[in-house]
Structures are given as C-alpha cells and as structure tokens.
C-alpha cells in the first residue's frame, strides 16, 4: 500500500459511527482499573490479555469483552475509559463520534445507570472542550437478554433522554433476531430516540430485513450479509441506508477471511452508503485509521473521500452541522 494514501486517510476529517465504548478498554487500563477497584481479572499480564484475543466467532469475543467490563465500577472509571477513546479518536482526525454503550453490562452488576451516564457525559464535555470533538451516545440493548430486560433499561434511560440520541441492538446475533425487540424499539421511537441495530454481521439477510421493516432503523451496523440478497442490496442503495462497516472486526471475528475478501469495495460499487469504523478497537487490533488503512490496497482516494463523506451524512447531526463538516472535508480534498 502506498504511504501517501494512508497519510491521506489518516488526516481525512471523518466521523465514527460504530464503536462500543466498552470495546475501547485497552489491557493497560483494564489492569489499572482492576487494581484501583480491587477486582480480580482472569489474566496475569497485559501480554496474556492480548494473546487471549484470538477469536473464531463473535461469541468468543463477547465472553472476554463482558469479563473485561467488570473492572468498570465508578463514575471516574467510565470517564477515564471514554476519555482515552476520545483522545485516540481525535488523534485519528475524528471530528464527530457516536458511541454505543451497553448499560445492561453494568446495571446487571449493580452499577447504577446514573454512574455510567455521569462518567460518560463528563468525558464527552471534556472531548468537546479539549479536542473540538463532538459526540453522541447510543444506548444498546443486549439481544441475548429478553425484551423485558430491555424495557427496564429503556425506563432507566428516561431521566437522561435528552443526553442519549438513540437506541441500538448488539451482542450475540444468531438466534436473537431483530423481531424479538419489536415492542421496545416501538416504545423507544415514541420517546423520540433514533434507531440503529447490528444486523447481518453473522446473521442472515432476513435479520437485515427485520431491522429495516420491524425496528425501522436509521442505520445498519455491519450489514455485510445483506450482499447475499440482490433485492435487499438494491433496496439499501435506493434508500441510501448507511452501513457502519468494521473491517478489522470482520477479520478478527472471521466474518471475512482476508483483506482481499473484504466486501467494502463491492458495497461501494453497488451504490451502498458504506462507512469505516473500529467497532471494538482494543480487541480487534486497531482504531479507525487502522481500519481505513486495512483497505488501502483495495480503495483509492475518491473511495475514501466518499466513505468520509458518508460518515457525516449517516450521522445524527443536524443538516447544518453535516454541511459544516462537509465543507471542512471539501477544503481538505482541495489541498
């Protein structure tokens, strides 16, 4: 890959639309928080943690990811976690980030919803102050749990409603189709939340259809397997549905076997509004610029510029905010 192309993508103004904040927990911070909070973790060293990160499917990763999240106990832990990500994202010229968080991972351990929120909000304010990085929060329901549990979580979010832009759906996809969460997504819609869902990462095209038709999502997280269905692919293109694609995650979780097989070039060729994102960067071997770089051999400058443009177009910013970002992007491209 050419150095100049990766330099070009590294400095490209961009938005990140698919990152799980609990998935930005680096092993070093995991150990520091374990010590600060006197929590036992099943690893002896940072190296041992990194060697454990060999996955053959989504569930292998999720088991370790939920284990790691146990070190998060106090408001300052959530703030430190988010701030470390914001510093890292700003260094990758991310101008706007919409981050997922999994409240049930914390409330199930007795951590109050308020503690989680206060920690994140404090980091979000600091990110804007210190980096000019704007951020939004998306509350994800864990799909391996039942819909009643999701409803409980939605009720907990009510006092914080104006600080959360939308709801999402993550965790184990297979066997937990979007339709399982039809009622809670409808209730979230009534409350004014935007909607996104992971679909078509491991799950079949039918799950993508359910995310569109039943959950009425504004964005699709991953969406890779939609490509198996030509009608569905054409519909996604026609509806200008944003896909939040995560190349290094796809490789680590064996959704895609090699970089050469990654479907992103095909998605662009089919007219899909694809974006590039990091998913769980501490676990998958790279932040957003590493994800752009992973496809440098397969895409050119115009492709990457289109992807960065898509990232702002697919965001939950206002039209005026999107236009302002696109102007900055255009100025960068003219240079």
Q: What is the CA radius of gyration of the chain?
A: 19
Nearer to ligand HPA, 75 or 280 (CB): 280
Q: Which is nearer to Zn ion, 92 or 279 (CB)?
A: 279
Please, what is the minimum distance in Å from the beta carbon of residue 238 to ligand HPA?
Answer: 26
- Closest residue by beta carbon to ligand HPA: 170
Identify which of residues 120 and 284 has a Cβ nearer to Zn ion in the complex: 284
Strands 194-199 and 219-222: parallel
Residues that bind ligand HPA (CB under 6 A): 20, 23, 58, 170-171, 198, 201, 249, 279-280
User: CA 134 to CA 82: how far, in whole Å?
Assistant: 13
Choose from ligand HPA, Zn ion, none: what does 23 bind? Cβ within 5-8 Å by kind. Answer: ligand HPA
Is 201 a residue of the active site?
Answer: yes
The nearest distance, CB 323 to ligand HPA, in angstroms, is 31
Binding segment toward Zn ion, per CB under 5 A, in 30-38, 118-126, 227-235, 272-280: 272-280
Q: Identify which of 280, 324, 250 has the alpha carbon closest to the alpha carbon of residue 101.
A: 280
Q: What kind and span of H or E run contains 75?
A: helix 75-91
Cα(161)–Cα(159) distance, rounded to whole angstroms? 6
Q: Identify any residues that bridge with 15 across adjacent strands, giving them in sequence order.
A: 96
Task: Single out the residue of 55, 241, 279, 288 in contact with Zn ion (rule: CB under 5 A).
Answer: 279
From Zn ion, ligand HPA, none, which one binds at residue 201 (CB under 5 to 8 Å depending on kind)? ligand HPA
Please report how close the Cβ of residue 105 comes to ligand HPA at its closest, in angstroms. 9
Give the Cα separation of 103 and 203 in Å (integer): 23
Q: Which positions ≥6 away from 62 have C-beta within 8 Å? A: 171, 172
Rounded distance, CA 216 to CA 214, Å? 5
Q: Known catalytic residues?
A: 201
Chain residues binding Zn ion by CB under 5 A are 279
């Amino acid at each position: 890959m050419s150095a100049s192309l990766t330099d070009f993508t590294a400095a490209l103004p961009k938005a990140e639309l698919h990152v799980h904040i609990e998935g930005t927990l680096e092993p070093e911070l995991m150990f520091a928080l374990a010590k600060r909070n006197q929590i036992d973790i099943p690893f002896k060293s940072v190296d041992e943690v990194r060697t454990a990160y060999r996955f053959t499917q989504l569930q292998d990763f999720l088991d370790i990811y939920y284990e790691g999240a146990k070190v998060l106990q106090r408001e300052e832990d959530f703030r430190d976690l988010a701030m470390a990500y914001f510093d890292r994202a700003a260094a990758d010229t991310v101008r706007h980030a919409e981050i997922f968080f999994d409240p049930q991972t914390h409330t199930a351990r007795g951590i109050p919803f308020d503690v989680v929120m206060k920690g994140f909000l404090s980091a979000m304010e600091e990110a804007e102050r210190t980096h000019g990085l704007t951020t939004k929060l998306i509350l994800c329901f864990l799909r391996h749990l039942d819909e009643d549990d999701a409803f409980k979580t939605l009720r907990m979010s009510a006092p914080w409603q104006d600080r959360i832009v939308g709801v999402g759906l993550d965790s184990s996809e297979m066997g937990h189709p979007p339709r399982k969460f039809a009622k809670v997504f409808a209730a979230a819609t009534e409350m004014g939340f935007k909607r996104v869902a992971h679909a078509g990462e491991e799950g079949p095209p039918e799950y993508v259809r359910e995310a569109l038709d039943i959950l009425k999502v504004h964005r699709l997280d991953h969406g890779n397997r939609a490509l198996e269905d030509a009608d569905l692919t054409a519909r996604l293109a026609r509806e200008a549905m944003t896909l939040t694609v995560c190349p290094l995650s796809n490789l680590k979780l064996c959704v895609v076997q090699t970089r050469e097989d990654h479907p992103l070039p095909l998605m662009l060729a089919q007219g899909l509004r694809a974006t590039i994102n990091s998913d769980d960067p501490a676990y998958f071997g790279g932040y957003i610029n590493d994800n752009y770089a992973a496809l440098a051999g397969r895409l050119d400058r115009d492709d990457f510029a289109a992807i960065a443009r898509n990232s702002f177009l697919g965001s939950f910013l206002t039209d005026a905010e999107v236009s302002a970002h696109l102007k900055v992007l255009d100025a960068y491209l003219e240079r």
